[in-house]
Amino acid sequence: MSAGGQERGGLVLRRIGKTYAGRRALVDVSAALEPGQVTAILGPNGAGKSTLLGILSTLVTPTAGELRWGDGALGRSSAARSAIGYVGHEPGVYGDLPAAQNLVLFAELYGLPDPGARAASMLARVGLSGVPPAAAVRTFSRGMQQRLALARALLHEPALLLFDEPSSALDPSGAAWLAAELAAERDAGRIVVLVTHDLEAAGAIAEHAVVLRRGRVVFDEERAGGFGSDTLRAIYQDRTRA
């Protein structure tokens, strides 16, 4: 059981649609996201990837369709949100606070026991335990901020982890470290969803790939042994060709 709430089983999307001012961003999107699996959501710019991730995070309300998580609907309650970890384009932390204070604050908001110890443990996990204790996060490099964002997202051991281009600010060694962290979360039974343009990274870790084009699913397949970057690139180029 995760600290973010009860284990809920798989997350099922049924004919999800989203319209903005008459423009259809998503059309009849259906997929099944399973615990213990990394799902890569791929597609060109404007395909609807970030909109779909917003819906999964409960920050965006779909225009049509249904999302079910285990035996119930994925709602916008605090209980549902406490079971979700999200890393977007922005770190989602307070820039004027030090790293440890940020994590202590979020640990307290989640009602975790011993927030100070939990914060220290997570800083060590993401390689930030050696930063000056009083240094404001706004003085950190973008890569360091991204590591802190991951610590914030994992702090409460959520059952659903959502990532939007998480390796964009990381150097190659940082990207390899992130891939290992995602694999560890997968092996712990989380649902891991990765939106990325990095087909090499996705092909190395994802066992489930969903490709969007113009708001529609054009590919949805699981492969127990993963795809490999060359295979995934070929699939992507074939399914997104204009």
Give me the pLDDT at residue 72, please. Answer: 81
Give me the pLDDT at residue 5, please. Answer: 44
In a domain, 113, yes or no: yes
136: domain range? 95-152
Exposed, middle or buried: residue 196 (CB in 10 Å: 0-12, 13-18, 19+)? Answer: buried
Q: Does one domain contain both 146 and 42?
A: no
Q: Does one domain contain both 67 and 174?
A: yes
Exposed, middle or buried: residue 22 (CB in 10 Å: 0-12, 13-18, 19+)? Answer: exposed
Q: Does one domain contain both 115 and 130?
A: yes
Give me the pLDDT at residue 61, please. Answer: 94
List the beta strands (DSSP E) in 70-150: 72-73, 84-87
Number of structural domains the chain divides into:
2
Give me the pLDDT at residue 201, please. Answer: 86
Low-confidence ranges of the chain (pLDDT < 70): 1-8, 242
In a domain, 34, yes or no: yes
Query: What global pTM score does this model have?
Result: 0.91
The tokens for 21 are 């001012």
Mean pLDDT of the chain: 91
Q: Does one domain contain both 76 and 163?
A: yes
Give me the pLDDT at residue 174, please. Answer: 86
CATH of residue 29: 3.40.50.300
- DSSP letters, 11-46, are EEEEEEEEEETTEEEEEEEEEEE-TTEEEEEE-STT
Give me the pLDDT at residue 130, please. Answer: 93
